Amino acid sequence: RGLPGRAGVGRAPVRGSPRGRPPARRCPQRDPHGAPLPYTLGVRGNPYLRGPRLAPAVTSPALFVLRGIPYLSKHRADRVKRLGDFLNRESFDLALLEEVWSEQDFQYLRQKLLPAYPAAHYFRRTWLFSGIIGSGLCVFSKHPIQEFTQHVFTLNGYPYMIHHGDWFCGKAVGLLVLRLGGLVLNAYVTHLHAEYNRQKDIYLAHRVAQAWELAQFIHHTSKKADVVLLCGDLNLHPKDLGFRLLKEWTGLQDAYLETRDFKGPEEGCTMVPQNCYVNRQELEQFPLGIRIDYVLYKAVSGLYIFCKTLRTTTGHEPHGGSPLSDHEALMATLCVRHSPPQHNPSPTHAERSPLISVLREAWTELDQGMAQGRWWATIAGYVIGLGLLLLALLCALAAGGEIREVAVLLWTPSVGLVLGAGAFYLFHVQEAKGLCRARAELQHVLGRAREAQDLGSESQPAGLLGQQEVDRAEEQ
């Protein structure tokens, strides 16, 4: 404690000690977690939690932060090597990477970064078909990882949209639990479905459902955490429905909006036209670029967290050379300090209104997506029926000997039609059920929010906006 090069708290002088005699040793006052007060976390005695930082993700299939699709991504091996050198030079506390689609690239980085980042984990694929490539998420940490798990989103696009590839990647969220100076840190890394056409976005309902699943996953797994950190490529603009839903339900703060010192492209854009790996046609409507990668955070009552600095790359590798990815890297310095527990008053009508409004919007979008999925399933059902009738007719013609050769030739494509329509039907039925489940959860939460608004309840709104924080404050 208090030694140079170690995170800790120095001894405070003891008042009332006789002059000329060293003060008697006393244990510093400790909080309910057993850590000295005030909290001072960090590296090399730094009184800040330096880092959880989102580093440029180096390998990926066509969405990302450092396109790392084997055999397809440009200069993949060189970018992976330079990413390892960059992480070693910067020496972050926590590096969260995305679109590392090749496990060989992860193993290469694992060996290269082992001295600086002794703890690492790669979130592997979990499903047989959807997600067969893997989530592409991995993490490197200076601190021991206490626990980890992942959740694959229920909806991940369409399997027949092969050229997009999201369904085969299996977008997910990974969770790490770390202990830093007596604090429990839940770090989440995620990657949501890509947006390919903003005017005619056929994946909008899927992204809203993923944002809701992500918010629910964080809400239910972070109740014992002191600090919550979310980093990832959300593929959502700051004013998009999915992003507003995520922020309103979880209470997470946006590092770009909260930071005291930002260095990077204008408006915090994380995809900029200056980057040679970016398709400039996709940014025609956004001359400055777009911001779709985020560092979000929050702390429980009794702790004060803020973003001291936030840096992003600006279309090229920070130390010179070509970019590490088509997305810019985010690097944050988060500061966590102890503060006296404060009484959280019940949210007012004005404070609850944004949550209710965004819940209504999300419910409407999921309802439309569910109706669309059911419509496609109905069309597929008709095609299956027609295909079966055609097969029955062909069997009758072949048995009667009339135009037998033609019947035999049409048999194979007819069987293929029935099987293809059957797979199409099953997929869209599953899509409609997934959207129906998310809509039911939203409807339940919306009902509780309306009851709290109408009755002016104090306990229900607190539960809606983070009951775990109220409970922790009462314990303290």
Element (H, E) at 317: none
Q: How far apart (Å, rounded) are the C-alpha atoms in residues 245 and 147?
A: 27
The sign of the dihedral angle between the CA atoms of 13, 15, 21, 27 is negative
DSSP 231-270: EEE----TTSHHHHHHHHHH-PEEHHHH-S-EESSGGG-S
In angstroms, the CA 46 to CA 91 distance is 14
Under 8 Å between Cβ of 185 and 35: no
Within 10 angstroms of residue 148's Cβ, the number of other Cβ atoms is 15
Cα 67 from chain centre: 17
Alpha-carbon dihedral sign for residues 468, 473, 474, 476: positive
Catalytic pick among 327, 338, 343, 349: 327
Q: Which two tokens stand for residue 386?
A: 């027609």
Stated as kind and residue range, the H or E segment containing 274 is none
On whether the CB atoms of residues 329 and 294 are closer than 8 A, the answer is no
| Residue 245, both tokens | 């839903």
Other Cβ atoms closer than 10 A to 410: 17
Q: Say whether 379 sits in a helix, a strand or coil.
A: helix
Task: Report the run of H or E that residue 421 belongs to, with start and end.
Answer: helix 404-455
Q: By C-alpha distance, which of 147, 195, 149, 153 is closest to 172?
A: 153
The SS3 call for residue 376 is helix
Which three-class secondary structure state does DSSP give residue 374? helix
**CA–CA distance, 235 with 311 (Å, rounded to integer):** 19
Q: Name the H helices within 251-344.
A: 255-258
Tell me whether residue 327 is one of the annotated catalytic residues.
Answer: yes
Residue with tokens 């008053």: 345
Give CA angle at 251 (248, 256), nearest 5°: 95
Active centre residues (catalytic): 327
